[in-house]
Amino acid sequence: MVLEFDDSSEQAIKDSWLLISETIKALERAKDRLKPKVEEILAEQSTHEIDGYQFRRTVIQRMNYDKAVMREVLDADLFDELLVPDKTKVDTYLKENVENLGEVGNRLRKTMQPIGNPYTAIRLEKL
């Protein structure tokens, strides 16, 4: 599949950006619709060879360290440095308990610290 786009003007760039974004979304939806069919032909861990390709099922297990053991074996300062709060969980907790926390929630938000290097994202926003 070849997708050509026009970049000759700001209007053309905006139109091309929208077309590409919509195409990416459509392709992801199409791939999601194919996944059940792949599951059907994938009775075992992998399929037979199909024109030089093969579907293969891989089980991925993410791992993490046990905090209790870390606390036991590491220096307290190092433990604090290595343990990063889960921002999503903290945000959810603050939202659910905003009335009970009062000033504590405000203090936590005001003392947030940057993580990593900042990056720039370019988005096309509808006005």
Quick: pLDDT tens for 56-107. 888 889 999 999 999 999 999 999 989 988 999 999 988 888 778 878 888 8
Q: Indicate if the pLDDT at residue 6 is higher than 70.
A: yes
Instruction: Provide the CB-side half-sphere exposure for 70 (13 A, CA).
Output: 12
Full-model pTM? 0.56
Do 109 and 93 contact (CB within 8 A), yes or no?
Answer: no
Mean pLDDT estimate for the chain:
88
- Residue 47 phi/psi, 5-degree rounding, is -90, 170
Domain range summary for the chain, segments of one domain joined by +:
1-49, 67-110
* pLDDT, position 51: 87
pLDDT tens track for 13-66: 999 999 999 999 999 999 999 988 888 888 776 677 888 888 888 888 999 999
Q: Indicate if the pLDDT at residue 7 is higher than 80.
A: yes
Say how far apart CA 30 and CA 49 lie, in whole Å: 23
